[in-house]
Amino acid sequence: MTVAKVSEKGQLTLPAEIRKKLNIVKGTYMRISIDGEEIRLIPETKSLSSLRGIVKVKGEQDFNEIREHVMGEVARERIGKN
């Protein structure tokens, strides 16, 4: 078991051997959960960009057009609630 010290700001440095073993690099997101009296840190290995192409669609997609459409739907929904 490895011991690490928490800083005044609540920061914790993961020891190098743990970072290397789990391939944790600068910018890696960590999921944090509490299990009883334990804190669990789980590296997020999938980023949004790594999910690109996971959903198959037909033809080309214009994401700006899709974004504008969704923003319009959200705006209409909000107006309807007021």
Question: Which phi and psi (to 5°) does residue 23 adopt?
Answer: 55, 45
Global pTM? 0.51
What are 37-62's pLDDT values in tens digits? 999 999 987 666 666 677 788 888 88
pLDDT at 71: 93
Contact 24, 42 (CB under 8 A): no
